[in-house]
Amino acid sequence: MTMAPGLRKFALTVHLTVSVGWIGTVVAYLGLGVAAVTSQEAQTVRAAWIAMELTGWYVIVPLAFASLLTGLVMALGTKWGLFRHYWVLFSLVLTVFATTILLLHMPDVSAIADVAREADEASLGGLGGDLLHPGLGLLVLLVIQTLNVYKPRGLTPYGWRKQQAERMVSQP
């Protein structure tokens, strides 16, 4: 079942908005991590960790779930299907993977932000920043975006069977 053109365009607009928003907030989070790593000022390190926690829980996590949900809507409501094409399947798997890692990582961010809130200025210098998770996360999100733009060919076995069945029905 495919969506009506107007609904499909609306769903695509929402999906693109939340997905690009997810990428953008990961870039902002990465910038905060760089500030925490490079700054010599305790207040900057403290502020960066608090901002990373708030950005993570209140922006990145909701955008990740919205991207996953709207991606499912797009896959199930368009000709691409969820299991017909490898690029859709890989996008889904990578999105679930990125969301899972994000959810597993955020409690650590909250714990470090709590340390940053309570620590004296002398001990904040060694707190560092968070570059690995957002850096790899950004890479995964860019791979997903590339797959969704280029849509490389390749039907799954299920997609091939569906395509053959549709051809049989459409032939006289």
Span 45-91, pLDDT tens digits: 999 999 999 999 999 999 999 999 999 999 999 988 999 999 999 99
Higher per-residue confidence, 1 vs 39: 39
pLDDT at 125 over 80: no
**Residue 85: beta bridge partners?**
155
**Residue 17: what pLDDT?**
98
For residue 19, the tally of other CB atoms under 10 A from its CB is 22
> Domains in the chain: how many in total?
1
* 8 Å CB contact between 52 and 113: yes
pLDDT at 170 over 90: no
Q: How far is residue 101's CA from residue 105's CA, in Å, rounded to a whole number?
A: 6
Average pLDDT over residues 159-170: 88
Give the range of the structural domain holding residue 162, as residue numbers without chain letter.
Answer: 5-170
pLDDT > 70: what percent of the chain? 99
Average pLDDT over residues 17-32: 98
Q: DSSP assignment, residue 70?
A: H
**Residue 129: what pLDDT?**
83
Higher per-residue confidence, 7 vs 120: 7
**Residue 126: what pLDDT?**
75
Q: How far is residue 85's CA from residue 80's CA, in Å, rounded to a whole number?
A: 7
pLDDT at 121 over 90: no
Average pLDDT over residues 31-38: 94
| Helix, strand or coil, per DSSP, at residue 104 | helix
pTM for the full predicted model: 0.92
The overall average pLDDT reported for the chain is 94
